[in-house]
Amino acid sequence: MSGLLQSIRNPRDLRQVPISRLPDLAEELRERILDRFAMKDAYLKSALGMADLTIALHHVFDFAHDKLIFDLAHQAAAHLVLTRGESADGTALSERPVPVSPGDEREPYDHFFSLHPGTSISKALGVAQATEGDAKTVAVIGDGAVVSGIALEALNNGHGLNSNALVILNDNEMSVSRVVGAMGEYLSKVRAGKTYNELKKDAHKLLQAIPIIGSGLDKAAEQLKDAVAKALVPGSIFEKLGPRYFGPVDGHNVGHLVQLMNEIKDQRGFNLLHVITRRDESVDAKHERLVFPVSSKKAEEGEDADLARGIEFERQGEEPWNDVFANSLMHAAENDPQLRVLLLAAPDVRGIGKASSQFLEKLPGRVFDMQVNEQHGVAFAAGLAHAGLKPVIVAPASVIQRAQDQIFQEIALSGLPVVMTLCYSGLIDARASLYHGTQDIAFLRAMPGIDIMAPRDGRELNHMLDMALQSNGPSALRISHSFAPDSDRLYPEQQELVRGRPEILRRGSDMTLFALGSMVYPAMEAAELLAAKGLEATVVNARFARPLDADFLQDMLDEHTLLFTLEEHGVAGGFGSAVLEVAARERLGAGKIIPIGVPEGPISRASRARLLRRMGLDRQGLADRMLHEYRRHVRSSKS
């Protein structure tokens, strides 16, 4: 290695590196990314492909003055290395996991790192409107994200804003997953041909050779010639949307990128540079880390014994919930020809993982791959339901909220029988708080008529999916991010699944543990710990966050000193809030209800087991909290 990267203490140092040496610097940068960052294979390959482009951006622009906005945070890996230096803040880059969460931007070169695709152009246009002088705002967006509705809206709207903004379309042919639809096919055709600007020149030459058009043209004829030229060459779709188009260009010819960006830098207005990059296919599997890994059964090296027990507690079985759900859904689809499956978000995070390809193969014509077009996907499902089919939406709980407007207008207000399966509900092993599914109950409860269910185990999941498919209205089914309980650990069914009716799993006289979904089995284990302290708890499997049975709630409050609601969701607006609302409305003694759930505020990065422990949602934490609250209540009632 030449050691060029060690000389870069500040991005401005790049301008001292001869352009002929920039390819060497890019190679060093790729090696450093491999050493410093761990992420899923596809994301890592894409991040490595950004090295040359990132060097060119920092060589031409001064992002302490100009603005740089990344659409997906993994694209910023090269940027983080260049802007941090070897020891910019004394923290090893390996301790800065990617993706980077919004709010982590502490450096003058960091502006926005988005965590879900499609929003960078809109944010860049907003920043550009508020930026005075000659500062350029640059948005970097991938080919998988530019097809999303919000990105196309931004391209359409940007032309009229008179913004000094540049969109870099980082086209690596596959993004982090396959691009679907007409735009994906269009980009493939553009990649295969000459550059847009070269073809425009060729088209003009062709038109010049036509006598009636080619000579002696007035201004109107020139405009006509340009319009005909645009119709003959690829890339014109972008100019029709708004920005002036440049490209496509080789994203690994750093010298050419620097030259072209210098030309664009001096051109005010709304521009789009289409850059073709290659994902580095030489990545060793040892560098891969799942985006949403599931906690290991055994404690990681260095973990203490308490956390090891916590992981054992958090892991109820051997089979991930996502696999259990995929099997249930496939079985339902094979037995009901009216069922249709809509897959939202990127394949590796949508909730059925590798089973996505199996669904597409085994159910031809009945599975719709919407990827990051969540708004369109939900409205499309409404159309299917209106036509008499049975649509099942599969999406992460943290992603479905992007389609909140469509859920409200197209599904809830019409009462259409659409099933929304919200995978990755609750806490997950993530490196950004955006991915945790801890707000879905709150926004869905604000919608009229949506039943919200959460199964305690795989057997109950099958019953709930069947109920949702037979319903005449919309339903939401929360799927946890963990392992479903093994068959040898299943508690016997006490009651048949009936809409809105809870299930009592354990009887006690002192308190009620009213648990939803993933908290049911922890509640049972916490009840055993309380019994050792002399307190007997009734454990209730809530099954539903809506509707709630007011008569059942009345009985529990009458028979017990306290009632605790347990959920892997934010307390505000969640299941506990729903129980309190019913109790207040029916005058049932809401003062005896204590909600327990995910506390407010940002969620730190950690394994799910560690997060459960920190929040007191593991069995020991639950038992300690309830014992404390019970004793405090008893003392206050005696005083």
Residue 45's pLDDT is what?
Answer: 82
Q: Give bridge partners of residue 69 from the DSSP assignment.
A: 112, 139
Which of the given ranges, 2-11, 248-257, 512-521, has the highest pLDDT on average?
A: 512-521
Q: Are strands 137-142 and 67-70 parallel, antiparallel or unpaired?
A: parallel
Residue that terminates a domain, selected from 276, 307, 342: 276
Nearest CA to 115 among 128, 97, 102? 102
With DSSP H G I counted as helix, E B as strand and the rest as coil, what are the percentages for the chain, rounded to 5? Answer: 50, 15, 35
Least confident interval from 48-57, 348-357, 552-561 = 348-357
- The rounded radius of gyration (Å) of the Cα atoms in the chain is 28
Residue 514's pLDDT is what?
Answer: 98
Q: Has residue 211 got a pLDDT over 60?
A: no
Model confidence band, residue 446 (pLDDT cutoffs 50, 70, 90): very high
Residue 150's pLDDT is what?
Answer: 85
Rounded CA gap, 8 and 6, in Å? 5
Model confidence band, residue 286 (pLDDT cutoffs 50, 70, 90): very low
Residue 287's pLDDT is what?
Answer: 45
> Tokens in use for 77?
């890996």
Kindly state whether residues 421 and 558 are assigned to the same domain.
Answer: yes
Per the rule left: phi > 0, alpha: psi between -120 and 50, beta: everything else, 461 is alpha
Helices marked H in 516-574 — which ranges? 520-532, 550-559
Q: Are strands 270-276 and 319-320 parallel, antiparallel or unpaired?
A: unpaired
- Average pLDDT (565-583) is 96
Tokens 């860049």 locate to 124
Model confidence band, residue 112 (pLDDT cutoffs 50, 70, 90): low
Q: Has residue 232 got a pLDDT over 50?
A: no
| Cα-based torsion angle of the residue sequence 459, 464, 467, 468 in order, rounded to the nearest 10 degrees | -140
Kindly state whether residues 259 and 401 are assigned to the same domain.
Answer: no
- Average pLDDT (25-43) is 81
Which of the given ranges, 175-189, 267-281, 309-323, has the highest pLDDT on average?
A: 267-281
Residue 494's pLDDT is what?
Answer: 86
Which residues, other chains included, contact 232 with Cβ-Cβ below 8 Å and sequence gap of 6+? 199, 203, 206
Q: Has residue 308 got a pLDDT over 50?
A: no
Q: Give bridge partners of residue 515 from the DSSP assignment.
A: 541, 566
Which of the given ranges, 79-88, 234-243, 253-262, 548-557, has the highest pLDDT on average?
A: 548-557
Report yes or no: 517 and 456 within 8 Å, Cβ to Cβ. Answer: yes
Examine residue 201 and state whether it is found in any structural domain, yes or no: no
What is the per-residue burial (b if ≥16 Cβ within 10 Å, else e) of 323-362? bbbbbbbbebbeeeeebbbbbbbbbbbbbbbebbeebbee
Q: Has residue 626 got a pLDDT over 90?
A: yes
Kindly state whether residues 239 and 350 are assigned to the same domain.
Answer: no
- Average pLDDT (262-284) is 82
Residue 209's pLDDT is what?
Answer: 58
Kindly state whether residues 157 and 53 are assigned to the same domain.
Answer: yes
Rounded CA gap, 62 and 265, in Å? 11
- Average pLDDT (239-264) is 86
Q: Has residue 252 got a pLDDT over 80?
A: yes
Peptide bond preceding 522 in cis form (omega within 30 of 0): no
| Distance from chain centroid for Cα 296 | 22
Residue 373's pLDDT is what?
Answer: 82
Report yes or no: 140 and 173 within 8 Å, Cβ to Cβ. Answer: no
* Percent above pLDDT 70 for the chain: 75
Least confident interval from 31-40, 179-188, 503-512 = 179-188
Model confidence band, residue 581 (pLDDT cutoffs 50, 70, 90): very high
- Average pLDDT (259-283) is 84
Rounded CA gap, 425 and 444, in Å? 13
In degrees and rounded to multiples of 5, residue 140 shows phi and psi of -110, 120
Q: Has residue 531 got a pLDDT over 80?
A: yes
Rounded CA gap, 471 and 487, in Å? 28
**pLDDT greater at residue 386 or residue 71:** 386
Sequence-ordered strand ranges (E) for 426-531: 451-453, 475-480, 483-484, 503-506, 511-515
- Supply angle C-alpha 372, 373, 374, rounded to 5: 95
Determine the structural domain holding residue 416 and report its residue range. Answer: 319-638
- Average pLDDT (172-199) is 49
Residue 312's pLDDT is what?
Answer: 46
Nearest CA to 491 among 458, 465, 464? 458
Examine residue 340 and state whether it is found in any structural domain, yes or no: yes
Residue 450's pLDDT is what?
Answer: 97
Kindly state whether residues 109 and 248 are assigned to the same domain.
Answer: yes
Least confident interval from 290-294, 439-443, 448-452 = 290-294
Examine residue 300 and state whether it is found in any structural domain, yes or no: no
The domain total for the chain is 2
Report yes or no: 491 and 458 within 8 Å, Cβ to Cβ. Answer: no
- In this structure, what CATH number is given to the domain that contains residue 259? 3.40.50.970
Which H helix or E strand runs over 379? Answer: helix 374-386
Kindly state whether residues 184 and 83 are assigned to the same domain.
Answer: yes
Kindly state whether residues 254 and 323 are assigned to the same domain.
Answer: no
- Average pLDDT (429-439) is 75
Examine residue 220 and state whether it is found in any structural domain, yes or no: no
Q: Are strands 483-484 and 475-480 parallel, antiparallel or unpaired?
A: unpaired
Kindly state whether residues 269 and 324 are assigned to the same domain.
Answer: no
Q: pTM for this one?
A: 0.76
Edge-to-edge strand ranges of the sheet holding 419-425: 367-371, 339-344, 390-396, 419-425, 475-480, 451-453, 544-546
Rounded CA gap, 81 and 566, in Å? 43
Rounded CA gap, 628 and 53, in Å? 57
Q: pLDDT (tens digit, 9 = 90+) per residue, 379-402? A: 999 999 999 999 999 999 988 888
Nearest CA to 347 among 401, 291, 397? 291
Model confidence band, residue 310 (pLDDT cutoffs 50, 70, 90): very low
Burial, 579: exposed, middle or buried (Cβ in 10 Å; 0-12, 13-18, 19+)?
A: buried
Residue 113's pLDDT is what?
Answer: 62
Rounded CA gap, 370 and 627, in Å? 47
Kindly state whether residues 326 and 272 are assigned to the same domain.
Answer: no
- Please give the mean pLDDT across all residues of the chain: 81
End-to-end Cα distance, the chain: 75
Kindly state whether residues 252 and 392 are assigned to the same domain.
Answer: no
Residue that terminates a domain, selected from 276, 299, 330: 276
Examine residue 298 and state whether it is found in any structural domain, yes or no: no
Burial, 87: exposed, middle or buried (Cβ in 10 Å; 0-12, 13-18, 19+)?
A: exposed
Kindly state whether residues 351 and 459 are assigned to the same domain.
Answer: yes
Examine residue 222 and state whether it is found in any structural domain, yes or no: no
Examine residue 189 and state whether it is found in any structural domain, yes or no: yes
Q: Has residue 486 got a pLDDT over 50?
A: yes
Examine residue 402 and state whether it is found in any structural domain, yes or no: yes
